[in-house]
Structure 1
């Protein structure tokens, strides 16, 4: 038997993806096994900055009618979009698993409805700058588990929000990624609703087009969500929030008017975090929001890992953390000596990600170590410290008195 016949199916399919239609027809005569495998195109790519649309259409039409396409990466930034949807319909009939469409929709481009009725697609990525006005009544993506939406517009049609209809058509969706889907500018439901969703990422990369007057409310009806990364402005209201299964939350929020309680009311969202085990307050503005609303914060009974970023700011908002139960804390201000909550704090692990060992930092470390009676591990990162400097930094730390007899140091360079 020849060596090629001993190759795994995946490698044979990969080899076949480089052959022309004529070569495919020839090779399928050689072996029944190859006849079944060689018609699987693992990856099909089109970038209109590299290849003409005619060449791509010819390449697609040259495939045997029985050929299947596993993945399609399509980048279409030309102003003229005639014919592109016909090619998409062709690929969708070929059992595609992964569909990545990057299309410039400035000229009013609309996706073909067949995108929303594909039974095989598992991962779907859509962008950029086109509108989804309506979803067909028979929309159903029964295999879709990952959905990425980048810089898209959603509208209501006949009283139905296209975004809500899209999510409802994804019964097994597990991961949703939203980038620059600017809730305040487009008239849609502003609701993320999915019973199956486990991971949700919301990212704003454009911060200069914020419309304060229209940014009124957001709702999260995601009872099965376990992971949330949320980077955006804070709206006036979180109308409904169901995050009962949330385990990890990374929050990077910007309250437009943090000192005005009449405007800022994110309490439903904060209550939704009450069951989290891992909480990352990614920005100083987020920590300030927690500080301003400290009297109304829920009890974080399950919280075991808390991270904050205070490398360039005063530590005074950290007072709000005195009422929390946590075990891990990443980060270190002149006002730290004023915090009496450290005495009763059940902190077990302290991670300091940037430490240079100067006299001021050493005094802060001495105060902290002298108060935290439950501390078991201090992990200190010395960036760029090697040789003798690293040894001196370690020695200075080891000489500091500690309230906890169990406290040990772990020095990382």
Structure 2
């Protein structure tokens, strides 16, 4: 069966790109086919196909690209057709376009195959397109579909060339991923799953047993049905992201270096504490907790704060800082901590921030990402701040969203008086600070006493 590639332009279209330079020579067209194809590979496939109308020299160069990218929304926009779910006739033209490109394309292996569909196409079409990418020995496969077919081609889970696999449900609905009985992905290094439902724990185990060389894993809003436990063993894993997942996942990644964990009281079922016990590997931990009224912080948030003894860079986002008063003082200091990022601070957390500064001997950088105090602490209740003095090796302090409130200035004064080796104090003003306020704050900052004679204060 022959397929025709449709390159018909809409009624209103921009002027064709002029390829000639100032001397009147078409230097781009004189380049070798391989080099032009390499340049076209950085464009979406539809844009690469548009170049076929430039001249006979360019007519089939798009078939030599190493990247294939199909996006039906872009296709509709190019043809100036409204995004109408009922436009069955135009859906068929997109199907014909994809089939035509796959039939004409002559390069194997390909580096990347991306399929983003906002409309419903027949499952048989999706299966053929994805299978064609696997047959072309694709290295990076991106699937953002709405909806997904009942099951993905089994060849995806037995590809010897796949290095990166990204599966995202491109709709509010989640996609139930069916894992075959045998999974063999010996080259897979990066796996990203978003809004995916696993039917049972065994399917999760089968998937990760077949990914023995996995280096980077992202589980974003994934769910595990029933009450099963899913045990993910990833000995080679270096980067792990687990964000708002539901279901009891236990991740055993003893060599993980960078961990990003985000949850709310309803999505705190991923146990990553076993990944925090290796003293030599843990580099960065980012912990985000979205609070809800009437809910206690999940136990896993406390376990991560208590267990990250060997982390070098610790990032506490959202409301994670507010959990510190629930942690005992002897569970906070980390022997290898070099930098600390704190999100929302309040009065109750400052005692622990001070303890952190005093007891983390290698700590050199601290960043207050949302100011020194939250809004309620500054403008509603204003108790006196009484903090113990500290001695540390802190060299850089950065305060973002700085509003110049008098309580903030008291805390800045406290930091300057105690940080004896401080070199830079960076104050990033909030966008609403007016010029007159900035001048007033600057004058007050210049009068503050400093324990370090080498400290430079920057207000920007």
Q: TM-score range by the shorter chain?
A: 0.7 to 0.9
Over 3 Å counting, the alpha-carbon distance change for 1:302 and 1:146 in structure 2 is same
Q: Of 162, 166, 180, which aligns to 1:135?
A: 180
Provide the residue aligned with 1:177 in structure 2: 218
**Does the 8 Å contact 2:194/2:219 carry over to 1?**
yes
Distance 1:111 1:315, change over 3 A: same
Partner of 2:367: 330
Question: What is the CA distance between 1:288 and its match in structure 2?
Answer: 2.7
Report SS of the residue matched to 1:170.
Answer: coil
- Residues 212-223 of structure 1 aligned to structure 2 (within 5 Å): 217-223=248-254
* Partner-residue secondary structure (3-state), 2:441: helix
Normalised by the length of structure 1, the TM-score is: 0.78
Return the TM-score normalized by structure 2.
0.71
Instruction: After TM superposition, give the deviation of residue 164 of structure 1 in Å.
Output: 2.6
What displacement does 1:75 show? Answer: 2.5
Aligned-pair distance for 1:378?
Answer: 1.1
Q: Is the 8 A contact 2:285 2:311 kept in 1?
A: yes
Q: Give the corresponding residue for 1:241.
A: 274
Q: 1:265 to 1:84 in 2, by over 3 A?
A: closer
The alpha-carbon deviation at position 186 of structure 1 amounts to 5.0
- Is 1:300 aligned to residue 334 of structure 2? yes
Segments of structure 1 that go 5 or more residues without pairing to the other structure are: none
Shift of 1:247: 0.7
Output the CA distance in 1 between the equivalents of 2:214 and 2:270.
26
Q: 1:401 aligns with which of 439, 444, 449?
A: 449
Give 1:231's match in structure 2, choosing from 262, 266, 283: 262
| Secondary structure at the counterpart of residue 385 of structure 2 | helix
Q: How far off is 1:396 after superposition?
A: 2.0
Contact 2:402/2:429 (<8 A) preserved:
yes
Instruction: Give unmatched runs, 5+ long, in structure 2.
Output: 1-25, 77-90, 374-381
Which position in structure 2 is the counterpart of 1:54?
95
Q: Which residue of 1 aligns with 2:315?
A: 280
How far did residue 113 of structure 1 move? 0.6
Q: Greater CA deviation, 90-99 or 230-239? A: 230-239
CA distance in 2, matches of 1:119, 1:236: 32
Q: Which position in structure 2 is the counterpart of 1:124?
A: 165
Taking structure 1 as reference, are residues 335 and 372 closer, same or farther at Cα in structure 2, changes over 3 Å only? Answer: farther
Q: Deviations for 1:86-128, whole angstroms, at most 9, x for unmatched residues?
A: 221122111212211112347x611111011122222211121
Change (3 A) 1:193 1:403: same
Q: What per-residue deviation string (whole Å, max 9, x for no partner) do you get for residues 113-153 of structure 1? A: 1011122222211121221232341x222222221101011
Q: 1:323 to 1:135 in 2, by over 3 A?
A: farther
* Cα RMSD, aligned residues only: 3.8
Q: Work out whether 1:250 is the aligned partner of 2:250.
A: no
Aligned length: 384
Alignment of 1:7-406 (within 5 A): 7=32, 9-14=34-39, 18=48, 39-47=64-72, 50=76, 51-52=91-92, 54-63=95-104, 68-76=109-117, 77-78=119-120, 80-105=122-147, 109-128=150-169, 129-137=174-182, 139-156=183-200, 161-183=202-224, 185=225, 187-204=227-244, 217-233=248-264, 235=268, 238=271, 241-243=274-276, 244=278, 245-254=281-290, 264=299, 268-284=303-319, 286-295=320-329, 297=331, 299-310=333-344, 314-324=346-356, 325=360, 326-331=363-368, 332-333=372-373, 334-335=382-383, 337-340=385-388, 342-384=389-431, 390-406=438-454
Segment drifting more, 274-283 vs 8-17:
8-17
